[in-house]
């Protein structure tokens, strides 16, 4: 029985850690001040350590999350008593004429949501490059280890450690207060917050990890934070709803993008019965909310494209092409241009798509070569082979390499 209990604890704690560690850290940081984030992280870690020691002996509590919050609250109070943080630092600040309001120390749903939202805006400091902001978001807001972040970015742990250290130094020097978000901060950082969540989601959806074609953990964390953003009275703007709609539509097809062995399944070959109807409905809901105003962002357009990809029938492709035409004007990127060329092929045929794709001047892009291999396959197999082989030489994901190798094998078969 004890072994069974320990097994249950070992299964439950990693799940709880992913869900609750960031919430604990956010509320504790709000209480102590962002400059003492290491203290908050230490207390959150000690809380989970106590759970690993206590639960196997005394059993899992009826409400594990509430138990964690209570332990963290008690540890925070003990810390204040031991180090007299209020007397030695906060009161000193007040003595210099600056009013400091220490928020009530409670783990209510509202307090947790407000603290995480404030932490999200703190992490998206313009002083840090976007890639550093994503790393900080993964560590501080999602509870990812340095090793997990290194795996996500195909980097080594030392590089990620240095990146995080530089990012944290900027955050400390910024003296960001985890209180009510002023309008100036909302206006200054809102676009960067959206971009950070977009990059985080894309890293999961189009993972460059050698072993994993999709990182569902990154996608789910990005969606969790986007939902927090979209549902807040302060930040529930149309762009946030559009971004969340995009994530819902894309995530609805995650289970169909790989087969039972983890290999990639191309869009046209996906089993539509595996598409998540609930997420598609949520995508429709947030897309409708996003268009309650006339303003249109790149997230609106991308969400519209993702919506049409969840529908059936060839009549969707003219709508998708029209949206890609709009997206190229709003924000050009090689990926957008390549995807637009694919849509051109579906609407106007492969010859026209080849002519437009060749004008892109993207010979160094492996996705461009993958597209050209697809477009040339029915009309010029030799050229298709050239492009598929070019794509294979620069592909990073093992799953992507296997797909390309399969295309080459089909073209070279007798």
Q: Would you state the pLDDT for residue 97?
A: 46
pLDDT, one tens digit per residue, over 373-382 is 999 999 899 9
pLDDT band of 94, cuts 50, 70, 90: very low
Residues 201-227: what's their mean pLDDT?
Answer: 81
* Contact residues for 223 (Cβ-Cβ < 8 A; gap 6+): 201, 244, 247, 248, 251
Q: Compute the distance between CA of residue 32 and CA of residue 251 in angstroms, rounded to an integer.
A: 36
What is the model's pLDDT at position 403? 87
Task: Report helix, strand or coil for 108.
Answer: coil
Q: What is the pLDDT of residue 210?
A: 57
Kindly report the length of the chain: 414
3-state SS assignment for residue 258 = strand
Question: Which of residues 200 and 19 earns the better pLDDT score?
Answer: 200
Average pLDDT, stretch 105-134?
Answer: 84
For range 283-288, the mean pLDDT: 97
Instruction: Report, as an integer, the average pLDDT of 282-299.
Output: 94
Q: What is the mean pLDDT of residues 272-278?
A: 93
pLDDT of residue 308: 96
- pLDDT level of residue 2 (50, 70, 90 thresholds): very low
Q: How confident is the model at residue 13, as a pLDDT?
A: 84
Query: How far is the C-alpha of 404 from the C-alpha of 410, rounded, in Å?
Result: 10
Is the pLDDT score of 77 beyond 80? yes
Rounded Cα gap, residues 86 and 96, in angstroms: 14
Residue 397 scores a pLDDT above 90: no
3-class secondary structure for 125-146?
CCCCCHHHHHHHHHHHHCCCCH
Q: Find out whether 299 and 242 touch, Cβ atoms under 8 Å.
A: yes
Residue-wise pLDDT tens digits, 129-162: 888 888 888 888 888 888 888 877 767 889 999 9
Mean pLDDT of 303-322: 92
Whether the per-residue pLDDT at 282 is higher than 90: the answer is: yes
In this model, does residue 117 exceed pLDDT 90? no
Domain with CATH 1.25.40.10 in the chain: 331-414
**Contact predicate 373/391, CB 8 Å:** yes
Q: Quick one: what percent of the chain has pLDDT higher than 70?
A: 90
How confident is the model over 349-373, as pLDDT tens digits? Answer: 999 999 999 999 898 898 999 999 9
* Region 254-267 average pLDDT: 83
pLDDT value of residue 150: 84
**Confidence grade of residue 208 (pLDDT, cut at 50, 70, 90):** low
Pick the CATH number of 331-414 from 3.40.50.970, 3.40.50.1110, 1.25.40.10, 3.20.20.70: 1.25.40.10
Residues 6+ apart with CB under 8 A from 87: none
Which pLDDT tens digit goes with each residue over 30-40?
888 777 888 88
Instruction: Tell me how far the alpha carbon of residue 268 is from its chain's centroid.
Output: 25
pLDDT at 4: 44
Burial (CB count <10 Å: 0-12, 13-18, 19+), residue 175: exposed
Residue 85 has pLDDT above 60, yes or no: no
Average pLDDT over all residues of the chain: 85
Provide mean pLDDT across the span 282-301. Answer: 94
CB 250 within 8 A of CB 201: yes
């Amino acid at each position: 029985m004890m072994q069974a209990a320990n097994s249950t604890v070992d299964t439950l704690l990693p799940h709880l850690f992913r869900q609750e560690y960031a919430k604990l850290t956010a509320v504790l940081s709000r209480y102590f001040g962002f400059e003492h984030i290491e203290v908050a992280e230490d207390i959150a870690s000690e809380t989970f350590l106590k759970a690993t020691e206590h639960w196997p002996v005394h059993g899992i509590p009826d409400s594990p999350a509430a138990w964690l919050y209570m332990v963290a609250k008690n540890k925070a109070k003990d810390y204040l008593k031991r180090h007299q943080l209020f007397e030695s630092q906060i009161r000193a600040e007040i003595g210099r004429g600056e009013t400091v309001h220490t928020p009530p120390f409670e783990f209510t749903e509202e307090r947790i949501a407000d603290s995480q939202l404030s932490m999200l805006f703190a992490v998206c400091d313009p002083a840090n490059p976007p890639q550093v902001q994503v790393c900080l978001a993964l560590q501080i807001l999602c509870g990812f280890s340095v090793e997990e972040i290194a795996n996500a970015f195909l980097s080594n742990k030392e590089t990620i450690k240095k990146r995080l250290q530089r990012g944290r130094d900027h955050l400390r020097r910024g003296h960001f207060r985890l209180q009510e978000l002023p309008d100036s901060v909302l206006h200054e950082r809102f676009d960067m917050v959206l971009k950070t969540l977009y990059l985080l989601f894309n890293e999961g959806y189009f993972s460059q990890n050698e072993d994993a074609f999709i990182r569902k953990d990154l996608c789910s964390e990005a969606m969790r934070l986007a939902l927090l953003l979209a549902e807040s009275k302060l930040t529930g703007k149309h762009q946030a709803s559009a971004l969340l709609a995009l994530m819902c539509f894309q995530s609805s097809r995650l289970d169909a993008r790989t087969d039972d062995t983890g290999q990639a399944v191309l869009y046209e070959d996906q089993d539509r019965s595996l598409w998540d109807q609930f997420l598609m409905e949520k995508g429709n809901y947030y897309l409708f909310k996003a268009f309650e105003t006339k303003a249109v962002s790149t997230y609106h357009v991308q969400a519209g494209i993702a919506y049409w990809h969840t529908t059936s029938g060839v009549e969707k492709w003219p709508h998708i092409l029209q949206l890609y035409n709009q997206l190229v004007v709003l924000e050009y990127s090689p990926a957008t241009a390549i995807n637009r060329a694919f849509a051109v092929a579906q609407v106007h045929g492969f010859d026209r798509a080849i002519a437009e794709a060749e004008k892109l001047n993207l010979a160094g892009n492996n996705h461009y070569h993958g597209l050209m291999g697809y477009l040339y396959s029915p009309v010029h197999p030799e050229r298709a082979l050239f492009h598929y082989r070019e794509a294979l030489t620069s592909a990073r994901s093992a799953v992507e390499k296997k797909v390309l190798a399969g295309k080459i094998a089909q073209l070279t078969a007798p």
